[in-house]
Structure 1
Amino acid sequence: MMQPPVSLGKNITFMHPAYFIITGLSGIPNIRHYYVFLFFVYIVSVLGNTLVMALIYLDPKLRTPKYVAVFNLAFVDLFGNTALVPKVLDIFLFNHPQIPYNDCLT
């Protein structure tokens, strides 16, 4: 299903699809069993990044620019994983290989 074209000016039109179909995960045997591993990796990632952020926030000696950069990296990794892993789990568990255009853009 295509979205209606959006006019960007004189002769420029931008069209985007409603969703993308992910085909790279269709041939993996026993794909439903990978969610346990993926869920474990997600939990370790969330706990690890939260621990790093808490240590940097709570210790006043770790307020140097180097640790501020590490805090920002942990923050971005935490929210990146929170956006990506649930969609991959949805693909594994419920066989929904579509991802909406706006979700993919995000």
Structure 2
Amino acid sequence: MDDARMEVVMGLIMHGGNAKGQAFQAIQFAKEGKFDEAEGALKLANEELKAAHDVQTDMLTKEAQGEHTEVDLYMVHGQDHLMNAITFRDMAIELIELMKRVQKLEG
């Protein structure tokens, strides 16, 4: 694998992993009732997802321009990290909203 492809794959993995980690941190803050901190962690997760999405969009743009991207296990792994991070972030948002409702009802 050449350096350019490795950079793309590592961008997907790194930003996806960072996003998932921030979403997990957001859930932990919410469990402690620290909803402002949870929202901050979700904001950071979204920034990481945008960075990963930018890497993916660049790759898709090149594909549309006729520059074929070889799909191998590394690329699949990188895409898997990104999709899992998106799903995890979405679930974190829902969990945090539920925790806010529970706190309000218990309050």
Higher helix share: 2
Shorter-chain TM band = 0.3 to 0.5
Q: TM-score, normalized by length of structure 2?
A: 0.44
Q: Which has the higher strand share?
A: 1
TM-score by length of 1: 0.44
